[in-house]
Amino acid sequence: MKNRLKVLRAERDWTQAQLASALEVSRQTINAIEKGKFDPSLPLAFKAARLFNLSIEDIFHDEVETV
C-alpha cells in the first residue's frame, strides 16, 4: 500500500518523532509506514486521517489500480 504520509508530514514540517507522538506509535512504525514496509490497521489509518484532516483515501492508496 502506498501513502502520502511523508509528504504530508514534510508539508507541516513535522519530524517522524512528532508524528509518532501524535499518533501514539513508535518512530520506527512511522518510518516503516512511510517506506511502505508496514501497512497500518484501519484504526491507525483513521487516526492519521483525523490528524491531517483528510480522508483515508487522500493518504493511503492501493498499489493495484482499479479500472
Partner 1 sequence: MSNPDYEKNNYQTKNIANNITLRNWTIAWVVTMAIAAFAPKFIWDFNTSLTIIALVVNLAIGLRMLIANRAYLRGLDEMQQKILLEAMALALGVGLVVGLSYELLEDIKLITFQPEIAHLVILMGITYLLAVISGHRKYQ
Residue number with CB closer to partner 1 (1 or 17): 17
The reply on whether position 24 binds partner 1 by CB under 8 A is: yes
- Which of 44, 47, 49, 56: binder of partner 1 (CB under 8 A)? 44
The reply on whether position 41 binds partner 1 by CB under 8 A is: yes
What does DSSP assign to residue 49?
H
The reply on whether position 6 binds partner 1 by CB under 8 A is: no
User: Is 30:37 a contact under the CB 8 Å cutoff?
Assistant: no
The reply on whether position 31 binds partner 1 by CB under 8 A is: yes
Report helix, strand or coil for 40.
Answer: coil
Torsion of CA 46, 49, 54, 55, to 10 degrees: -30
